[in-house]
């Protein structure tokens, strides 16, 4: 149980285009989902926290107009990288948990984004 999927697993796009990444909880309802970014040999950095049906809370330094997050249902959250640039190339990982407390976060397999 507690499986989280991401789609696509990798994507290559041209600079200036937008890319959408999906995160799904397959066998549980995720009240809260998280989006992380990981650069090579760096730790995972939290980008934003989203609760179903409400606006996402972004971490300091993360542009909310560039990284659009939608958490429209209890099993799906999407991250859209708008007008992507090469510096947005990274490994994006989502996680999900059932409540808003200290429950375990279950992580997706990640999406590798390369912007040319």
109 binds another protein, rule: CB under 8 A: yes
Half-sphere exposure of residue 69: CA atoms within 13 angstroms, side-chain side: 27
| Distance, CA of 104 to CA of 75 (rounded, Å) | 16
CA distances from 2 to 87, 100, 104, 106 (A): 32, 16, 10, 7
Stretch binding another protein (CB under 8 A), from 23-31, 42-50, 68-76, 81-89: 42-50
**Residue 91 engages another protein in binding (rule: CB under 8 A):** yes
Near another protein by CB under 8 A: residue from 51, 70, 98, 105:
105
Which residues contact another protein by CB under 8 A? 6, 34, 41-46, 91, 93, 95, 100-102, 104-105, 107-110, 112
């Amino acid at each position: 149980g507690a499986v989280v999927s991401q789609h696509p697993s990798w994507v290559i796009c041209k600079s200036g285009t937008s890319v959408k990444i999906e995160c799904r909880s397959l066998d549980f309802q995720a009240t809260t989902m998280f989006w992380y970014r990981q650069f090579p040999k760096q730790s995972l950095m939290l980008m934003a926290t989203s609760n179903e049906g409400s606006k996402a809370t972004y971490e300091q330094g993360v542009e909310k107009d560039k990284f659009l997050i939608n958490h429209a249902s209890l099993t799906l959250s999407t991250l859209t990288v708008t007008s992507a640039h090469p510096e947005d190339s990274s490994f994006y990982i989502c996680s999900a948990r059932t409540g808003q407390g200290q429950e375990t976060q279950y992580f997706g397999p990640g999406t590798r984004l390369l912007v040319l």
